Every structure is written in structure tokens, then in C-alpha cells.
Amino acid sequence: MSNATANDLYTHAQSAASYIRSKTALQPKLAIILGSGLGNFASQVNDATVIPYADIPNFPQSTVQGHTGKLVLGTIGSPNGSVPVAVMQGRVHAYEGYTMAQVTFPMRVLGLLGVEKLIVTNAAGGIDVRYGQGAIVAISDHINLTGTNAALGPNEPRFGQRFFDMSSAYSPAFRKLAVAEAAKQGWTLNEGVYLAVLGPSYETPAEIRAFRALGADLVGMSTVHEVIVARHMGIQVLGLSVVTNMAAGVLDQPINHEEVMEIGQRIEGQFTGLLTALIPQLATHAG
Ligand code: HPA
């Protein structure tokens, strides 16, 4: 990758951001990335401007069932406490054949639009046997086992610094608010470490045993690169996983994508209840 490429990334992200600005005057402060089976949350957005990814210059297209591919801009919450948000209904993954620069391109664009806070969500396999299927878990930290890094290549200083801290990648303050809000709504939000693999194959039982020994509680195929890029830009992050299945070998049964989609629908009410209550709190929190 040459220096021209880092500059190109910035220019391409700027043109995508300009296109989005031409569609709405709304300036999102908080972004939400909706993972597999969780896309319906976008219907909570008021006064929505919906932009298909296909219309946005340079935006990658999702090829996976359950990832709609729309950017929804609008507000969440009551008029006096309403928060301007950008919701990504679907994302792309490296296993679809995209580079990490492409996978994280939307995150770069959101940063240029002025987003300061991110709620990133995903479907994950549960490695910690205490999580049941359908559990919502706050990500406390991650292990990147994808063998690559979205910030590889020449650094673009308009995005951030060459080397950047990841010691509080998932804001402890945001997690605390999320745990408290779940308790207020009558359920326990556990915290756990998310380990990322490339996929698309699900893991083998031996891999899951190895990941458990490494300290992982959850496994998935997304999120870590978006979070790396968000931290590069100084964006504060709350990560939420939905345990759609127990990881390979935990139960004596195969894993299938239909199950992943179905669980998203089953916990929709709980997930929506948590997010709609949390968004105004995160928006006003200094972090
Ligand atoms: N492994 C990896 N990614 C996943 C899983 C899993 O078991 N479930 C949902 N996404």
C-alpha cells in the first residue's frame, strides 16, 4: 500500500460523507452498527432518512442474508431528549472477500460525519457456558485473531495517530451504564471478552477449547476492526453481542445460520428496550 492509498481512503470517505450530507442536514453524534438478525432496530429511528449502501459512493455491499445494507439517519428518543443517530442496518465482513479497509470504510465515513460514540452489535457464539442462547452480553475487551489489522498501511493523520491505545477500547463508563440499565429493566447484562476470527466456517470444537484457554467468552466474525478504526478516530465504544448459539462443541449439535437469524428476532424486544433507554444516556455522558 502506498502513501497515495492512505490519502485515497480519506478522499473516498470524504466523498461518501458529502453524499450523505446532501441527503440530510442531520448531524449524527452516535452511530449504531446492527449485526446479524438485529437490523429491525432501525425502525426505532424517528424522521428517518434511509440511504441504501448501493447509493453511497465507495460503500461496500453486504452479500449476507440478514444484512439489509441501509444507512438510516434520524433521531432516537423523545423530542426533548432526542439524539441524532446514524444506524447501519447491516455490515460487510472480510469473509465476503472485502479487505479490512473496505470492511471499516463505513466507520471512517461515520467518523467524518462527526460521530463521537458508537454502539457496535453482533451475533456471537457463546464460549462461556454460563451464557444461554439469546443472552445479550456487553463486550469488555477483544482478542483479534483475524491475523490482520484495519489500521495497517500508511497512517492518515486526519483520522488519527500512527500508534493508538486500546486499553479501554470498550468504554468502562458505557459498560457501567449498560449494566445498570439492564438491571433497571429486570435482567442481568453479563460482560465478556469477544474473540474475532475471519470465518466463514464456524469454529471446530478444538478451536473453541483453545479460545476458552486464551480467555475468550464469545466468538464472532466481525466488530474488532470497526472498533480498532473507531479508536483510531477517538470514538468511544459500547459493544454488545447477542449469543445466537453456543460455540462449537459446547453442545452436541451443529451450528447453522438460520438459528443465528432466529435468535435475533426472539430477543428483539429486550435488545430494543436496552438500546432505546441507553442511547440518550450515552449521548449525554462525557465518557
Ligand atoms: N462463531 C462465529 N461467529 C458466530 C457464531 C459462532 O459460533 N455465532 C454467530 N456468529
pLDDT tens per residue, range 29-41? 999 999 888 888 9
What's the gap in Å between 216 CA and the centre of ligand 1? 13
Measured from the CA of 260, which atom of ligand 1 is nearest? 9
**Active-site annotation holds for 123:** yes
| Mean pLDDT for the stretch of residues 168-179 | 97
| Mean pLDDT for the stretch of residues 100-124 | 96
For the entire predicted model, the pTM comes to: 0.95
**Active-site annotation holds for 53:** no
| Catalytic entry in 6, 13, 36, 98 | 36
Tell me yes or no: is domain 6-284 CATH 3.40.50.10490. Answer: no
Domain extents in the chain: 6-284
* Dist. CA 124–CA 244, nearest whole Å: 6
Q: Is the CB of 216 under 6 A from ligand 1?
A: no
| 3 has pLDDT over 80 | no
If you take atom 3 of ligand 1, which residue's CA is the nearest one? Answer: 220
Q: Is the CB of 118 under 6 A from ligand 1?
A: no
What's the gap in Å between 193 CA and the centre of ligand 1? 14
Q: Is the CB of 124 under 6 A from ligand 1?
A: yes
* Dist. CA 203–CA 219, nearest whole Å: 9
- For 54, 197, 263, 264, 271, the CA distances from 268, given in Å and listed in that order, are 26, 25, 8, 6, 5
Q: What is the pLDDT of residues 69-95, one digit of tens each?
A: 999 999 998 766 799 999 999 899 999
**Average pLDDT of the chain?**
93
* Residue 200: predicted pLDDT: 95
